[in-house]
């Protein structure tokens, strides 16, 4: 993740006011629209802010039909099909419609120019960009082959002028194809530029060749060739217009703006030829009433109509991309288990993050079980150093998702990769917070089993920088689980080898709290030295090194690491679990007694981030 600034909500209501807003909204939505104002005046006469917010939500609901009208809400005041963190420990996973998996982008999706609106979500724009690039690649390939076929014609009917024009056109068209097929990153504007360039090149070549063919044939008084070139002028342009309208994604307005001048070109060519050559005028006079004269206009109408139909289908697909009461705004990142999107709650205007399983994993029961277990386990925890879960659910197609707080900042792994090893005081600051989160998890019987720098996030919360957040409970083990289901096999392998305890590699399901202590010590080693305790050419070498090799002293890295901090890290990395700290609480006590504990203050963190941003 890259640093993200927390977006300020449009309204500043207290949690109690938000709760009241949702409660009043759930009651008013079942009433006729004309009764909304009277209802709010009666039930909320004492709080104009709440009354105004509910009124806004009701009008927004009526205008855009965000949610289906419901008569009652559950305890969490969320729609019944959405699920909630309060329900996360239940065995019955809430279900939502499959059409709610994705959400509508920001901006007016019903607008004819919505696909080209800069306010659209990055995810939708990226999808459109990829689609446009694929279509352009196909079109330029077809046009290149067509021009190449025309070039071969000149080997049997030599004509220097036509050969040069077609050769230049082929080179330019092939260049466009190569650029589109390359790994170059092309913006939407760049792709549209290639689109216009392609149609201009093929159109320009057609104009020049057709005019030259008609004039040459007229000079020789070859009526058949004049008529043939004239007909190809009109039918060729009609074909170009139809191909563009069918293949290029456009609104009807943009299609009309691009294709109307193109449809006028054959008429302009005919007019220019008649001005240039009296003989051509005499030959073509009888052709002016032919069917070919109407072909460009018919092609224009068909293409604009097709563009509108295709655009409408695309907009319906965008509107169908809804995720309960959330709107996705952009893709934040993707990992082995799923993808994470930045989103916004449509009612509360609160930014959040949504994680869901990759489409390729939908049919994997084990992946779904792991994903569901992650959210249920995390939802049990309430410590401020553990990421907060807002909502969760599963679609009818078994696509599992959950909604969590959006964290501005970056992971500790990225922090070290970008800025180097941390000073001991800052590392201790993060480790103390991670220990606090683990203490609650371990007391609840949850073993994380995937502690690593990438799963500890340096966030900004409430104006305070360097707030540690423990993420990704996907490999969590419930040591106090009384249920009959064993989700992890006795000898399966999981976790991150660079930070995995020796016993976790051999008996993954038997890991206990001390395994998390080892992993946290390995993460601390990385924070202080910018490298993991052990490295190798493959996973097994790393795992074996954790089990057998001695850890290199932290001082070997060249960093100035206090002896008391190094002693704590090395104790965490003891091979024998009995030699480590026996709990996260015990490790936190040791860290708090180090000389540098408490030295990394909120002001230092604020200054560091301010200097980094500049």
pLDDT tens for 518-530 read 999 999 999 999 9
- Confidence bin at 471 (pLDDT 50/70/90): confident
- Between 331 and 358, the more confident residue is 331
Question: pLDDT digits over 56-93, tens only?
Answer: 767 655 443 332 222 222 222 322 333 333 233 333 33
Name the more confident of 300 and 310.
300
- Four-way CATH pick for 326-405: 3.90.850.10, 3.40.50.300, 3.30.200.20, 3.40.190.10: 3.30.200.20
Residue 64 belongs to what H/E stretch? Answer: helix 48-64
Please report which confidence band the pLDDT of residue 452 belongs to, taking 50, 70 and 90 as the band edges: very high
The pLDDT score that the predictor gives to residue 159 is: 63
What is the pLDDT at residue 75?
Answer: 29
Nearest of 384, 440, 427 to residue 584 by alpha carbon = 440
- What band does 335 get if pLDDT is binned at 50, 70 and 90? low
Identify any residues that bridge with 467 across adjacent strands, giving them in sequence order: 459
- The answer to whether residue 538 scores a pLDDT higher than 70 is yes
Q: In angstroms, what is the C-alpha Rg of the chain?
A: 33
Q: What percentage of the chain reaches a pLDDT higher than 70?
A: 71
∠ CA 150-156-160, nearest 5°, is 70
Residues 406-415 have a mean pLDDT of: 90
- In this predicted structure, the answer to whether residue 426 has a pLDDT above a threshold of 90 is yes
Which of the listed ranges 87-91, 374-378, 394-398, 580-584 does the model predict with the highest average pLDDT? Answer: 580-584
Q: What is the reported pLDDT for 597?
A: 92
Q: Give the pLDDT score at 69.
A: 28
Instruction: Say which residues have a Cβ less than 8 Å from residue 114's Cβ, sequence separation at least 6.
Output: 107, 108, 120, 315, 318
Kindly report which listed range (107-111, 172-176, 432-436, 549-553) carries the lowest average pLDDT score: 107-111
* Cα gap 53→19, rounded to integer Å: 12
pLDDT given at position 209: 81
Instruction: Identify the weakest region by mean pLDDT among 198-202, 351-355, 472-476.
Output: 472-476
Is the pLDDT assigned to residue 515 strictly greater than 50?
yes
pLDDT digits (tens, 9 = 90+) for 225-263: 888 887 877 888 888 888 887 778 778 888 888 888 888
Return the CATH architecture of domain 410-479+488-613: Orthogonal Bundle (1.10)
User: Would you kindly state where each structural domain of the chain is located, as residue ranges?
Assistant: 15-73, 114-320, 326-405, 410-479+488-613
* Percent share of the chain, pLDDT over 90: 18
Angle at which helix 424-443 crosses helix 602-613, to 10 degrees, equals 110
What integer best gives the mean pLDDT of the chain?
74
Chain segment 106-130, per-residue pLDDT in tens: 333 333 333 333 334 445 566 678 8
Angle at CA of residue 131, ends 130 and 135, nearest 5°: 115
What are the start-end ranges of the E strands in 419-532?
446-447, 456-461, 464-470, 477-478
Residue 299 scores a pLDDT above 50: yes
């Amino acid at each position: 993740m890259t640093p993200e600034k927390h977006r300020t909500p449009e309204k500043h209501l207290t949690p109690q006011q938000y709760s009241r807003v949702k409660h009043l909204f759930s009651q008013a939505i079942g009433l006729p629209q004309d009764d909304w104002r009277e209802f709010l005046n009666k039930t909320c006469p004492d709080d104009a802010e709440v009354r105004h917010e509910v009124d806004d939500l009701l009008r927004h609901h009526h205008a855009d039909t965000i949610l289906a009208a419901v008569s009652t809400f559950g305890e969490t005041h969320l729609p019944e099909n959405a699920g909630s963190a309060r329900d996360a420990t239940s065995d019955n996973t809430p279900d939502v419609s499959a059409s709610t998996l994705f959400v509508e982008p920001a901006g007016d999706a019903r607008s004819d120019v919505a696909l080209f609106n800069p306010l659209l979500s990055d995810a939708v724009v990226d999808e459109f960009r990829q689609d446009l690039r694929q279509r352009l690649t196909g079109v330029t390939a077809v046009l290149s082959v067509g021009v190449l076929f025309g070039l071969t014609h000149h080997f049997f009917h030599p004509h220097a002028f036509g050969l040069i024009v077609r050769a230049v056109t082929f080179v330019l068209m092939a260049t466009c194809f190569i650029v589109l097929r390359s790994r170059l990153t092309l913006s939407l504007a760049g792709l549209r530029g290639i689109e216009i360039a392609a149609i201009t090149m093929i159109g320009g070549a057609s104009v020049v060749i057709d005019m030259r063919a008609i004039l040459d044939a007229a000079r020789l008084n070859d009526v058949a060739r004049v008529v043939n070139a004239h007909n190809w002028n009109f039918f060729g342009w009609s074909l170009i217009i139809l191909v563009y309208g069918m293949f290029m994604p456009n609104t009807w307005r943009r299609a009309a703006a691009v294709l109307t001048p193109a449809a006028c070109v054959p008429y302009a060519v005919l007019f220019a030829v008649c001005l240039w050559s009296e003989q051509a005028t005499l030959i073509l006079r009888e052709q002016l009433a032919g069917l070919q004269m109407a072909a460009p206009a018919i092609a224009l109408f068909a293409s604009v109509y097709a563009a509108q139909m295709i655009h409408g289908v695309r907009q319906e697909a965008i509107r169908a991309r809804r995720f309960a009461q959330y709107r996705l705004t952009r893709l934040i990142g993707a990992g082995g288990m799923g993808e994470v999107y930045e989103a916004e709650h449509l009612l509360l205007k609160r930014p959040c993050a949504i994680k869901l399983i990759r489409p390729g994993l939908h049919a994997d029961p084990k992946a779904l079980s792991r994903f569901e277990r992650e959210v249920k386990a995390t939802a049990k925890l309430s410590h401020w150093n553990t990421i907060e879960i807002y909502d969760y659910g599963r679609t009818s197609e078994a696509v599992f998702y959950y909604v969590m707080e959006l964290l501005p900042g970056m992971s500790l792994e990225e922090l070290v990769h970008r800025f180097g090893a941390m000073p001991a005081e800052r590392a201790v600051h993060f480790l103390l917070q991670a220990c606090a989160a683990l203490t609650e998890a371990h007391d609840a019987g949850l073993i994380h089993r995937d502690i690593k720098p990438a799963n500890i996030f340096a966030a900004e919360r409430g104006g305070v920088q360097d707030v540690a957040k423990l993420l990704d409970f996907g490999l969590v083990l419930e040591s106090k689980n009384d249920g009959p289901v064993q989700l992890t096999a006795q000898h399966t392998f999981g976790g991150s080898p660079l930070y995995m305890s020796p016993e976790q590699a051999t008996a993954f399901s038997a890991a206990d709290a001390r395994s998390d202590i080892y992993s946290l010590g390995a993460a601390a080693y990385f924070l202080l030295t910018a490298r993991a305790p052990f490295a190798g050419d493959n996973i097994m070498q790393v795992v074996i090194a954790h089990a057998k090799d001695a850890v290199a002293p932290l001082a070997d890295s060249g960093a100035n690491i206090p002896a008391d901090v190094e002693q704590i890290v090395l104790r965490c990395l003891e091979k024998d679990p009995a030699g480590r700290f026996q709990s996260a609480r015990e490790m936190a006590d040791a860290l708090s007694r180090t000389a540098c504990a408490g030295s990394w203050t909120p002001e230092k963190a604020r200054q560091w981030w301010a200097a980094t941003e500049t």
